[in-house]
């Protein structure tokens, strides 16, 4: 039975094999989010998922920059870009959503990162900060005003999505134990600070289940 009315939605960010142990860009303990998501998902009538969906020649892949290594940074026209290990290539198992996810009521999958020349962390806006995914317009057309976010990774795609949700006028809350972080050079602490400053809420799944 749904606890939240139609003005709320659960946004599941990049719960893909590529970000889980054994994947192209594994997040430590990343697969532990799946059972947590499965427990909280039935609370929501509205569920949206995102899916990293990169071409193999994507500009963010270190392999496409001879002499460069993963986690180095380069300057691109839209700003500084972290170079990542090759991950979530279109149509591969690495890009697939985890088989054990149980969200049959999900109505939309937003694919991001499919433009070769720009990375895309946020569910709302690509890294050039100009190219929209269309998610904000979709949610507003549906009358959704509150978002609860979970997924991978806390300090990148979840945080960027939460910040963009706030910028687009949505109430946003991150379900902390339904996320895991990369924590590259202090990125997790910075992400939480940025989210707090933007008014993003923070809650645990147990509190949500007891709402």
* Residues labelled catalytic: 14, 112, 157
The residue among 64, 130, 27, 189 whose CA lies nearest residue 74 is: 64
The residue among 132, 23, 134, 121 whose CA lies nearest residue 80 is: 121
Strands in 67-164 per DSSP E: 73-76, 79-82, 106-112, 146-152
Beta-carbon contacts of 126 under 8 Å, excluding residues fewer than 6 positions away, are 112, 113, 115, 118, 119, 120, 132, 133
Round to whole Å and give the CA distance between 90 and 92.
6
> Dihedral, CA atoms, 41, 102, 89, 85, nearest 10 degrees?
60
Name 111's bridge partners: 51
User: Could you give phi then psi for residue 140, rounded to 5 degrees?
Assistant: -65, -40
Q: What is the DSSP string of 3-29?
A: SB-TTEEEEEE--BGGGSTTSSSPPTT
């Amino acid at each position: 039975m749904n606890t939240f009315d139609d003005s709320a939605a659960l946004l599941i960010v990049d719960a893909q094999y590529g970000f889980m142990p054994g994947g192209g860009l594994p997040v430590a303990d990343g697969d532990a989010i799946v059972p947590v998501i499965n427990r909280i998902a039935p609370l929501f009538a509205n569920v949206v998922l995102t899916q990293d969906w990169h071409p193999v020649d994507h500009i963010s892949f270190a392999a496409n920059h001879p002499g460069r290594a993963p986690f180095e940074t380069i300057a691109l026209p839209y700003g500084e870009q972290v170079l990542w290990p090759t991950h979530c290539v279109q149509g591969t198992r690495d890009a697939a959503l985890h088989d054990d996810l149980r969200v049959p009521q999900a109505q939309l999958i937003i694919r991001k990162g499919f433009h070769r020349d720009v990375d895309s962390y946020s569910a709302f806006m690509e890294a050039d900060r100009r190219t929209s995914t269309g998610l904000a317009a979709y949610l507003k057309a549906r009358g959704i005003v509150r978002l609860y976010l979970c997924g991978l990774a806390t300090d990148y795609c979840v945080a960027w999505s939460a910040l963009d949700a706030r910028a687009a006028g949505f109430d946003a809350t991150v379900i902390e134990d339904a996320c895991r972080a990369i924590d590259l050079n202090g990125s997790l602490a910075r992400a939480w600070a940025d989210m707090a400053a933007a008014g993003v809420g923070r809650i645990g799944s147990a509190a949500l289940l007891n709402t």
